[in-house]
């Protein structure tokens, strides 16, 4: 959008001003929070739900999604433990400034655990294997895009899909390692 388009089509700056104010408050709260407000469990529940929608729940035990589903469930259990620990320890001042800083670093690493240098097929600039825009419209979000693309492409070629499952499993292992570091902190 250009300023000329905005003046011609929208005209009124009040909604844009309100959104700018809301964005500023959000950024300020995030920047000044002692602990990064990161929900440890919700993304994993979403990932498992999207995986189940993608491949169905009645697949054979040898299907690659079975191991992925189990790992996501195990990761959810660890995330619940860590989330509960943070809800109890941080509000009562149970972490020193150095430990709080380390916990924030770990929380950031949880998000970064989903990054893969190879990116997505045909779109290597999308390096996040947790979520990306869909390749068709560019607007809708695709959860587990590496796998979803395999499932939505002319039927699933398991020889091609298996390495993709392994890449996602590797990201889950990284996420789990970061959660374990958080629990040890």
**What pLDDT is stored for residue 62 in this prediction?**
61
**How many beta carbons lie within 10 A of that of residue 174, not counting itself?**
17
> Which pLDDT score, from 0 to 100, does residue 59 have?
57
pLDDT value for 141: 87
Q: Note the pTM of the prediction, 2 decimals.
A: 0.74
Apex CA 93: angle with CA 87 and CA 97, to 5°?
110
Euclidean distance between CA atoms 82 and 26, whole angstroms? 24
Give the pLDDT of residue 127: 94
Q: Is residue 114 a contact partner of residue 130, using CB atoms and an 8 Å limit? A: yes
Please report the pLDDT score of residue 117 as a whole number: 94
At 21 the pLDDT is 95
Which 3-state string (H, E, C) describes the chain? Answer: CCHHHHHHHHCCCHHHHHHHHHHHHHHHHHHHCCCCCCCCCHHHHHHHHHHHHHHCCCCCCCCHHHHHHHHHHHHHHHHHHHHHHHHHHCCCCCCCHHHHHHHHHHHHHHHHCCECCCCECCECCCCECCEEECCCCCCCEEECHHHHHHHHCCCCCHHHHHHHHHHHHHHHHHHHHHHHHHHHC
Rounded CA gap, 44 and 113, in Å? Answer: 13
Per-residue model confidence as pLDDT tens for the chain (185 residues): 787 887 788 777 788 889 899 999 999 998 888 888 888 888 888 888 888 888 775 455 566 677 788 888 888 888 998 888 888 877 767 778 888 888 899 989 988 999 999 999 889 999 999 999 988 887 888 899 988 887 777 566 666 677 888 898 898 888 888 888 887 76
Query: What is the C-alpha to C-alpha distance for residues 54 and 69, in angstroms, rounded to an integer?
Result: 12
């Amino acid at each position: 959008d250009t300023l000329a388009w905005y003046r011609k089509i929208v005209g009124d700056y009040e909604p844009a001003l309100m959104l700018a104010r809301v964005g500023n408050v959000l950024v300020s709260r995030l920047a000044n929070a002692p602990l990064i407000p990161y929900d440890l469990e919700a993304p994993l529940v979403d990932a498992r739900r999207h995986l189940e929608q993608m491949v169905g729940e009645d697949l054979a035990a040898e299907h690659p999604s079975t191991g992925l589903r189990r790992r996501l469930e195990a990761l959810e259990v660890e995330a619940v433990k860590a989330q509960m620990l943070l809800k109890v320890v941080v509000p009562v001042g149970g972490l020193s400034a150095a430990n709080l800083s380390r916990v924030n670093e770990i929380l950031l690493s949880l998000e970064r655990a989903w990054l893969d240098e190879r990116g997505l097929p045909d779109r290597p600039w999308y390096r996040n294997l947790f979520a990306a825009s869909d390749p068709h419209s560019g607007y809708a979000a695709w959860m587990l895009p590496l796998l979803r693309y395999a499932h939505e492409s002319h039927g699933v070629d398991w020889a091609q899909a298996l390495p993709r499952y392994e890449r996602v499993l590797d990201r889950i292992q990284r996420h789990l390692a970061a959660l374990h570091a958080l629990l040890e902190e």
